[in-house]
Amino acid sequence: MTDTPDTTATDTPQASATPKEPQMPKMQVLAQFIKDMSFENILAQKGTSGDVQPDIEIQVNLDAKKRPVEHQFEVSIKLKVGAKTKQSGDQIFILELDYAGIFHVENVSEEQIHPFLLIECPRMLFPFLRRIVSDITRDGGFQALNLDTIDFLQLYKAEMLRRQTESAPKTPIN
């Protein structure tokens, strides 16, 4: 005789009797690529050197769209970096980069897919985009530009707030 209890098929609960647990979201990067890129070295076109400390201005736009294949989405980060001299405000360089990824996403509800695509997917792409920007600026004759981490959650919230204020009815001022 043993101290272990005898377990039979009748002791285990049936699968249909237990509530179904929600499945965790799944995301897989299928591909990532540069859709479009432009680097204009205005300083070199003027024939001057690149030893200036620039003021950097960065604009980030996100886009996501469904692909024909089920559960696949294309997410792109459109980045525009402008650099001007601190003294005169003259443009030094302009970098425009459209970097995209193809993602397979499952177990995300319809209500959550939009924020998921515009927050989580760009987080996956950002380290690669940062490296490209660093390499391009360095190869363009400037000090490598290392982008600060972008808070995609805050960017998403700001965009949703902007859309709400634009769509809100204007109250007349008397």
| Whole-number pLDDT of residue 166 | 86
| Whole-number pLDDT of residue 46 | 77
| Whole-number pLDDT of residue 87 | 83
Look at strands 72-85 and 54-66 and give their pairing: antiparallel
Coil, helix or strand at residue 172 = coil
Which parts of the chain fold into alpha helices (H)?
A: 42-45, 110-139, 152-167
| Whole-number pLDDT of residue 50 | 55
Contact 94, 1 (CB under 8 A): no
| Whole-number pLDDT of residue 172 | 60
Q: What is the pLDDT along the chain (174 residues), one digit of tens a residue?
A: 455 555 544 444 444 445 566 789 899 999 999 999 999 998 887 776 656 778 999 999 999 999 999 999 999 999 999 999 888 888 999 999 999 999 999 999 999 999 999 999 999 999 999 999 999 999 998 899 999 999 999 999 999 999 888 887 766 665
| Whole-number pLDDT of residue 20 | 64
CA 89 to chain centre: 30
| Domains of the chain, first to last | 26-162 (3.10.420.10)
Contact 82, 145 (CB under 8 A): no
| Whole-number pLDDT of residue 167 | 81
